[in-house]
Structure 1
Amino acid sequence: MTVNTAPVSAGQALDILRAAHAAQAAGHLTASWMLHGRPGIGKTEIVTQLAAETGARLFDLRLTTIEPQDLRGLPFYDHATQRTIWYRPEDLPDDPARPAILFLDELTAAAPTLQPTVYGLLQERRVGRHRLPDTCLVIAAGNGIDDGAIAYDMGTALSDRLIHLHIRAEATDWLTRYAVPQNLHPAVITFIRTRPDLLETTEDSLRRGLTIACTPRSWARVSQILHALPDRRLRDPAITGTIGDAAAAEFLLLVEELATNVQITDLLAAPRSRRPDLYPPTMTGLTALTYGLIGAANATTMPQVIEVMAELRHLPRLRPDAPFARLPLAELTTHGFELLIQKALSQNLTDAFRTSAAYAEYRAERQVQGLE
């Protein structure tokens, strides 16, 4: 069956669930949510981040690995009262004083015999005699039958108990709200910025009968590989086995270019007079440098990062022998500062901007140009 709702990005889905969590805490809305999306698109990461932000305890139930009794509990015969009582499982929230998220993952792949047990959790927020506390937000997730994953059609009795969010991969959203804040490798960020069509290729891979597809999850794994395996003889096959040979061939060319031209540590350590010669001479290299600077920014390096970022727009004057004059460096500088300020705000590093002469000069120029 088709999920007949407008798709949203992962970032939008997180915003909606943040609002849902706040609304439920205020007693305005109590509902169960369903995240639809292809494998690797970030459904689990959304729920994990929401739990971290709200301080909620996360109860993560993978429904493909449990039986009905794992939710309902097991019967016990009380001979004194001549009744059967149930010992409920420990994997369900029960503390009304602490926020919780009950995450029912792989709902569409769960055995049909389990679904009637799930109905009560989604609608009545209870199973057997155990009732979920009001502080518990219920979120389910699953793949569709057309996504190449094990899945069953969702019946109307199940779908009617849920508010459905259909998540799609969106490159700009993924870059600004996940890849940059998570400090993924600059090569990954730069590549997806220039090839957003390769962020998620599941549909194309299924159509062509290919086992491996690019997904947001696989690109995050590529970032880990780049950091963990410096030997290209080991690194390249691992990356190819993660995103497939066609995407890997193109991506690894970029990795080699950046390894040759982008030296972030040297730039930050160099005196100002020597810095212009260390900037990479291509737009791809400068883009990777920008993301690398954001990743390298911390309480110690932030002043130097601001100086190097601000200097980008002056490269045509500082290096007239290089092709910088033809590149949109003002736009790149603005984009870099927007992301750098976001990081500074999230990590309480804004004092470096207030005391930076380089940033003050940059702001003054923009004000003269009417851009602020």
Structure 2
Amino acid sequence: MKPKDLSEYLQFAIRNNFPVLITGKPGIGKSDIATQAAIAAEAELIISHPVVSDPTDYKGLPFPTKNGTADFLPYGELHQIITAQKKTVFFLDDLGQAPASVQAACMQLLLARQINGHQISDQVTFIAATNRREDKAAVSGLLEPVKSRFAAIVELEVDTDDWVKWALAHHMPTELIAFVRFRPELLDNFEPTKEIRNSPTPRTIAFVGKQITAGLPEKFEFEAFKGAAGEAFAIEYRAFLKLYRQLPSLEEIVLNPTGAPVPTEPGALFAISSALAHKMTDQNIDAICMYLDRLPVENSVSCMKDAVTRNSSICNNRAFIEWEASSAAGILI
């Protein structure tokens, strides 16, 4: 499933108490999507990490009673999901990395919804996430009985449009969004390796964006980008930034939309369309639409898509309506 579809499906699962397992490559947003789905479903969220847990965390500790026997005493997260009074998501992150003994303890929670005589609250929905064995993320696999306890096992796939919407909502740099539009294959370029280096994924590219937003000095850019998302990404992105920084200014385009230079290189076209989307307002949309008419349809449409994602009220502007009506590109919005 794409991120947007998975978020909607998880909300359905939360409303109906269906346990779901999310699989996928590292760094593609599994945990974030589960978190967003819980928020959208107006549920409390408890994030648990079985890989660093002990079986007793999910079973309780044996505690002596007055009659010479022992009961299991729930504590911590287990106590929370037993006593939950409102809709709650219990998110088991990186379940596939957990030892078999911990997975077995989780299995009883998932199916029987009780452990050692303690009933899990009907308000609790179990969601879990794991990488795959081929990702070299220390995943040994899941016990067969654990897998069958989930109502569905869903693999998350990377989607450029969904990532761009996320990036716009989280104030990622305009130039980074433009680069991902230009080179979408780099967004899903995870390469498992035993070497101590990163590769491009939604997570590592987001770290690039956060450093830029924080004011990363230009002299550190290459090493910082290389450390975040790998050397190949850093080389390409630095070349793109050099091109981006030579583009005509927004002021020049707004003042002279029919005469301002139009880039010819594909990368520059994606860069200028993303920059215009970021700056589009009700005051300058007329001039920008005139300039967009001079760009290839693909770039004109991507500009409007991003602008509408940032500010949906633009759709009510007369200039937008006329652009959509007069342009074949408009039907793609």
Please report the TM-score for the alignment, with normalisation by the length of structure 1: 0.78
Please list, as runs of the form range in 1=range in 2, the aligned pairs for 1:309-348 lying within 5 A after superposition: 309-315=288-294, 327-328=295-296, 330-345=297-312
Change over 3 Å in CA distance of 1:94–1:228 after alignment to 2: same
The answer to whether the Cα contact below 8 Å between 2:11 and 2:38 also exists between their aligned partners in 1 is no
Note if 1:137 corresponds to 2:125.
yes
Q: Which residue of 2 aligns with 1:216?
A: 202
Note if 1:20 corresponds to 2:3.
no
Please list, as runs of the form range in 1=range in 2, the aligned pairs for 1:274-285 lying within 5 A after superposition: 274=256, 281-282=263-264, 283-285=266-268
Change over 3 Å in CA distance of 1:237–1:115 after alignment to 2: same
Number of aligned residue pairs: give it. Answer: 328
The answer to whether the Cα contact below 8 Å between 1:229 and 1:235 also exists between their aligned partners in 2 is no
- Residue 271 of structure 2, aligned match among 270, 288, 293: 288
Report the alpha carbon displacement of residue 141 of structure 1 after superposing the two structures with TM. 0.8
Please list, as runs of the form range in 1=range in 2, the aligned pairs for 1:239-254 lying within 5 A after superposition: 239-254=225-240
Note if 1:198 corresponds to 2:175.
no
SS in 1 for 2:282: helix
Q: Deviations over 1:130-181 (max 9, x none)?
A: 3332222211111122101111122211111122112232334433x42333
Change over 3 Å in CA distance of 1:359–1:197 after alignment to 2: closer
For 2:274, give the aligned amino acid: Y
- Residue 235 of structure 1, aligned match among 221, 237, 242: 221
Report the alpha carbon displacement of residue 288 of structure 1 after superposing the two structures with TM. 2.6
Change over 3 Å in CA distance of 1:88–1:277 after alignment to 2: farther
Q: Which residue of 2 aligns with 1:107?
A: 95
- Residue 362 of structure 1, aligned match among 307, 323, 329: 323
Looking at structure 2, the residues matched to 145 and 261 of structure 1 have their Cα atoms a distance apart, in angstroms, of: 44
Change over 3 Å in CA distance of 1:288–1:34 after alignment to 2: same
Stretch moving more, 225-234 or 35-44: 225-234
Change over 3 Å in CA distance of 1:228–1:13 after alignment to 2: same
Stretch moving more, 65-74 or 302-311: 302-311
Looking at structure 1, the residues matched to 332 and 278 of structure 2 have their Cα atoms a distance apart, in angstroms, of: 26
Looking at structure 2, the residues matched to 252 and 303 of structure 1 have their Cα atoms a distance apart, in angstroms, of: 33
Looking at structure 1, the residues matched to 134 and 206 of structure 2 have their Cα atoms a distance apart, in angstroms, of: 24
Instruction: Supply the RMSD in Å over aligned alpha carbons.
Output: 2.9
Q: Unpaired runs of 5+ in structure 1? A: 1-7, 25-29, 316-326
SS in 2 for 1:101: strand
Please list, as runs of the form range in 1=range in 2, the aligned pairs for 1:141-180 lying within 5 A after superposition: 141-162=129-150, 163-175=152-164, 177-180=165-168
Looking at structure 2, the residues matched to 289 and 304 of structure 1 have their Cα atoms a distance apart, in angstroms, of: 19
Looking at structure 2, the residues matched to 179 and 31 of structure 1 have their Cα atoms a distance apart, in angstroms, of: 30
Change over 3 Å in CA distance of 1:90–1:305 after alignment to 2: farther
Report the alpha carbon displacement of residue 242 of structure 1 after superposing the two structures with TM. 1.1
Change over 3 Å in CA distance of 1:335–1:158 after alignment to 2: same
Q: Report sequence identity in percent.
A: 23
For 2:92, give the aligned amino acid: L
Report the alpha carbon displacement of residue 88 of structure 1 after superposing the two structures with TM. 1.3
Change over 3 Å in CA distance of 1:273–1:202 after alignment to 2: closer
The answer to whether the Cα contact below 8 Å between 2:23 and 2:129 also exists between their aligned partners in 1 is yes
Looking at structure 2, the residues matched to 230 and 152 of structure 1 have their Cα atoms a distance apart, in angstroms, of: 38
Please report the TM-score for the alignment, with normalisation by the length of structure 2: 0.86
Change over 3 Å in CA distance of 1:83–1:231 after alignment to 2: same
Change over 3 Å in CA distance of 1:227–1:105 after alignment to 2: same
